[in-house]
């Protein structure tokens, strides 16, 4: 069995479900990669109404994580988690493709 393209941790799934319930929206988190940030690329998270036809979709506990094909090339094999620490609470991507990152944890380079 091959590795999934991308995965969503149970902790992240719970957080997406809670946010979606508050907004009366579907529990679908879209991860996109945008140019910019202090290391070259930045992760962008938003709730989605539905997956697009070409999206890669991962599901954990009924919550979907969707990624467009261009972004998937930069995050393939990654896991999206939700972490809370002294620095705050945020979705965090563990990306095996990133050559370097930044202190804020939201941008990377390949």
pLDDT in tens, 32-76: 998 876 667 889 999 999 999 999 999 999 999 999 999 999 999
Residue at 109 is within a domain: no
Q: How large is the average pLDDT for residues 6-24?
A: 97
Question: How many domains in the chain?
Answer: 1
Secondary structure (3-state) at 95: coil
pLDDT at 103: 58
Regarding predicted confidence, which is higher, 88 or 26? 26
Look at residue 53 and tell me if it is in a domain.
yes
| Pairwise CA distance, residues 37 & 3, whole Å | 28
Read off the CATH number of the domain in which 89 is found: 2.60.300.12
Rg of the Cα trace of the chain?
A: 13
Whether 110 is in a domain gets the answer no
Residue 39 lies in a domain: yes
């Amino acid at each position: 069995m091959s590795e999934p393209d991308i995965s969503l941790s149970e902790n992240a799934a719970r957080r997406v479900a809670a946010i979606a319930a508050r907004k009366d929206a579907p529990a679908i988190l879209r991860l996109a990669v945008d140019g910019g940030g202090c290391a070259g690329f930045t992760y962008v998270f938003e709730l989605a109404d539905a997956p697009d036809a070409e999206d890669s979709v991962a599901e954990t506990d009924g919550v979907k994580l969707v990624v467009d094909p261009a972004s998937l090339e930069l995050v393939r094999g990654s896991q999206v988690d939700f972490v809370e620490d002294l620095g705050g609470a945020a979705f965090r991507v563990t990306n095996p493709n990133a050559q370097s990152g930044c202190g804020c944890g939201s941008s990377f380079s390949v």
